[in-house]
Structure 1
Amino acid sequence: MSVFAAAMVVLGTGTGVVALLERRRRSRPVPEPELTADQRFEQEYIARVRRGARYVDLKGLQTLSHSSLELDEVYVDVSLVHRPPHQVRTDVLAGLPTTVQGRRPLAHFLDDPRPQVLTVLGGPGSGKTTLLRKTARDICDSGTPVLLFLRDHLAEILRGASLPEIVVANLARYDLVDADQWVARKLRSDRCVVMLDGLDEVARAQDRRSVSAWVENQITAFSGNDFVLTSRPQGFLDAPVDGTVVLQVRPFTPAQVRDFVHGWYRAVANTVTPDAHDRAAEEAQDLLARLDEAPALVDLTVNPLLLTMIATVHQFRGALPGSRADLYREICEVMLWHRDEAKKLVSTGNNRHKMVLLRSLAYLMMTNGVRQLAREVVLAEFERLLRRLSTPLDAEAHLRRVISDGLVVEWERDQFAFAHLTFQEYLAAAYIREKNLVDTLCYAVDDDWWRETTLLYVAGSDADPIVLACLASRTSTALGLALDCVAEGVELDEKLRSELDGVLRDAANDPALREKVLQAMLSRHLRSAVRTATGSVVWRTPVPAGLYRLLDDSPAVEGQGDEPARGMSSTSAVQFVDELNKSTVFPVSLRLATASELNHPSVLPTIQSAAAWTKEPFFTTAQLWMNASFRPRVATANLRHEAQADLTPATIVLLLKRIPAPTPRMIDLISHLTDAIDSAEEDPIVLAVTTDLRRGPGAERIRARFGNALMDSVRAAMDQPQDLFLSAVREQFTSRAGLIESDIEPIGEIADLCLRLHAAGADQPIGSRLPHHHLTNMVAEWNQTASLTGKSAAQIRFLALSLSAEARPESRRVFVQLAATATMWDWWRTGKVARPQVVILAADAPESLSARPPR
């Protein structure tokens, strides 16, 4: 190697190293500028606030998620509204009058250049603490939040410590030392949002007033900052903070309930698995559907804490509403003592005594048939019970405590009631179980007032005495209660179950008994009614088989007991409703629901996988409705099999005989296929061809009537051996029709297929106009009658696939989908596939008819 070459190698190598080092230098992250001590402390402080409010606080709940839930994933803003403090209700389900309008987030009230001093009031579990924790996390992005739980700093407040001193001491517990008075300087710079949670959680009234005075002092001392205080109404009324703007937490709306439930299940889903999100959506929808079937539970969902408890019980203790007795027990225990114990709140007396008092009070209300009692009656009942208990508190003090817990509310002045009838019914059932007073329920089987209490009782006790009393009474109310007990899944003596089944069988032949059973079953079914936005009432669950069979015991209908009746024809569905209206058990005329009613958000979730008969106004026949997302499919291979089976030896022989000047080869094929013809079997295609041949000559008439596909398939298979000729014709036909391995669209609604079929006719070749016209007429008749015979199904399938073979690609889909839809209807007719048709009832009912508003 020359010296020059060697020098170039060295130079080149050196240049490459320099370039490599330069690239590495450029790829290194640019070092952050050196932070000041204040900046480092602020970063650590903000990180501490974020970590402290990262997860949903579930302390005090007995049923817990298997993992921590990210607050940002679950949180739904409760929204606030201006409200005078004395008008804010104290109960767990506190709502607002319809005249109170407006829903604003807390950020709306803080978004003001002037410092804001706000007090957020709400009942137990209304989301006050969660609101502050989420606000603290959000402020971390652009400001400085200060979040303190007053119950944790009572001793320091009473000692006279200032706000900065308390914050600094709190940070020190997490090894975050404020050596340079960063907190005090930050508060003096007027750049903080100070959030003080739980004024009501300061137990003693005197201490609470001291805390309020301390809050006022801090607002004065650091007046340039925003302050937000939270409390239950009574706690604030006992110790108000002057100069604050009072806001009330609004209950969840139905839309917020949906958002919360879906967010909850997304948060608890195992996101590692591919189907996690789909599974979460299914579980959320299942809970929402079950809530809509249980009105008492729906009413509880306006409270975020109760909705959280409902979601956890649904997920970890089994499906609701079957476990609602467990849910109500957990709600009562959480509201009365578990949350306080989890927060380590000091209280006077035994918290369990509150349950004793409330159970007895609930039973007293039930036996008196009332929803509320006067103050003197409540205090007298408490005093009677307290003489048996060891407690330093008197009746008046206990009344104040249970009001603060949110389960009891003062509806009117000196008139007290449970926040929801559900709590009264559950606690009365618990009292009856504890005191062994089942005879009270046995004597009340004819009184619908006691129905829910009875069902909550049998959820954890022997149902035999109740059902025995129902069978002895045999009124419609009692028989309905017996059926409800069975539906609860309780254990029942075999003889009693057999006797109840016998009553249902006898009803078919005993008009008087049938009327009672019919009323009992209809009353049970009608509890699923919801009122749509248009004012009509729709029953969200299909008519059960037990009810349907009372008026139509056709063997074609599938299902038993409370299972949906399935498989009736359109005519049978209309006749069932007509027979139902002839009875005297319901005050308004019932009808089949319309398609728009089934698509309503309050109805669709529970029937989305069903196929329901609908009847539009002024229509004489019913139409089959199916949710677009849940329509069944016919696999390509199955449709190909059915289409090939349509082409029988008799069909091919008939066509071969109509070809002019048959060759010896054709004559041999005719002879071979004739031996395979089943003379006893009626061939739909042969019938159609034979009928049409009466109108004109052979092969050309067949082409005009059915298109070219079949004739062309026969000609293309002529060179096949005799044993393979028929299968070759079939393969040729289905291939020309486009039945390859690709998926076929789900089956369609007949009315929609009629419209699409008409539109596709404009694109058909001139030679296909006549077969298209015949097919359109057949589908129109199918749509009008909502029924399809086996012969018509085969002819529609054959015609549709014949036209598909000659159609343009964009039109071919409608013909294939039509063939698949006719095939599915034929499978339903023969029972090859379970028939999905159900009946959904509706009524144009007056407002007096009880029904829930739409979700």
Structure 2
Amino acid sequence: MELHSLKESKLTVEILEKKLVQVCALNDFPKADRFITDGLKKGRLFLLLDGLDEVNFSLRAEVIEIIKTFIDTYEKCRVIITCRTAVYHNQFFDVVQQTLDIEDFRDKQIRDFLKAWKSQMSPGKSVEQLIEQLRKRPKIMELARNPLLLTMMAYLYTDTPFILPHSRIEFYQKATETLLELRDQIKNIRNEYEGKNKRRILQSLALYLSNFQQSDRREISYDTIINKLKEVLPDLNLSPSDTNPIIKEICDRSGLLLRIDGGENYKFAHLSLQEYFAAEALREKEQELINKFKIDTVAWREIVKLWCGLATDTTNLIREVYEKDPLAALECLADAQVVDETLAKKIIEHFKQELLHQEDTENIAKALAAVAADYRPRGSALLQFLVDIMNEDDNSSHKQAAAKTLSYTNLPQAVDILAKYYDKPHLLEVRQELIRMGDLAVSTLESIAMENCVEAMDDLVAIGTPDAADTLEKFLHDPQLKQQAAWRVTAVLDKLKEDENISDRL
């Protein structure tokens, strides 16, 4: 069940049960009342409650309490609740057995995912070529670790002349521009409406959905769309009669907006797309965005970050964000085009210390890495700071934090830095960081393995990509390494063959 559908101001366990019945009905299982009731009482149901972060801010605390009561009431049932990490603050710690983070795609998983597109690629295009382009674009590679965004990349690469850009904002800009200009490919019918007009409509709908007053931030009814377009179409020199045709063209040709519930409701294909169009809608309305962020930092966090990539000077907004949510301000620096250098240094210096002294540094490491991956002076200086920690700091926990941050940059030079500490017993985490970097680390691990280091061979198996397999196969021709390499080659080739079979079945 998608939790954003919980819109009632006085939610109860009984209402939640009725919602489960409604979900069944929407998925071709009508009149499931008895099934749900018996299943809950006997503990036979496995409940998936998706998107706590998408619940309206004003209702979220109430929804959390009802879910906790629900779990206590039907304690025999297994339950999984999903939520963006930035929103979750252990609200369910007293009623759940485990809290897990879902890892992003690693290189092998990206490659496996893209195999489904292989047969559709025209001559001159290949999965290998797309992966090579991703390797050369660290910030886009980070986006590719998200399945939805990787799907967009694969489609655009396969079916259009789309060229991958180098920044997150450029990707959203160019991807949405390309999708909004797509014609009917089968019938070769040109678009009736200009891409810029369809973009303006999507901006309006995204902003409406994102506003904290709305009870549901993900779905918008057809009737509401009609009313919103009455406001928008005259400014575009279009008439009310254009409402249905332009919405149809957006849905059918771009896929950015989806019909659901038999056309009664609509939603953006992914929350990140909705957030991008909302950021575009507020491009010239900085203070309005600041006010919205201060009211609900969770709902507007990603929109603020995307806005920073669109706006000219982001100094004032980032200063305001820093006062409310320092980590969000650091994340904004990765996308910001222009920001006062004194403010930027203040934020970065603050999080340098946080990185070295906090126990849980995962989100800080990712945010600092996004800044350090930028080739411009600010990023280069931060990268050098991380290098200095690795080379000069005697504190092993500091080195571990720096190593984690370096791995998240997806930079080739980060591999070289980490490799220097591969065999240090007090820095065993370096191996995991190199495995996380996937194919970028293969050649370096090959060099380490050539020194008769079986651990490096094991790490190549863990990476598990064709490049890693090819490297292990080379060792079969080395008298000193072939014995250690033999079974490892078999292991990684068997896994690749298994994945190929699964891909073929899909």
Q: What is the TM-score normalised by the length of structure 1?
A: 0.31
Q: Report the structure number with the largest CA radius of gyration.
A: 1
Q: What is the TM-score normalised by the length of structure 2?
A: 0.50
Bigger strand fraction: 1
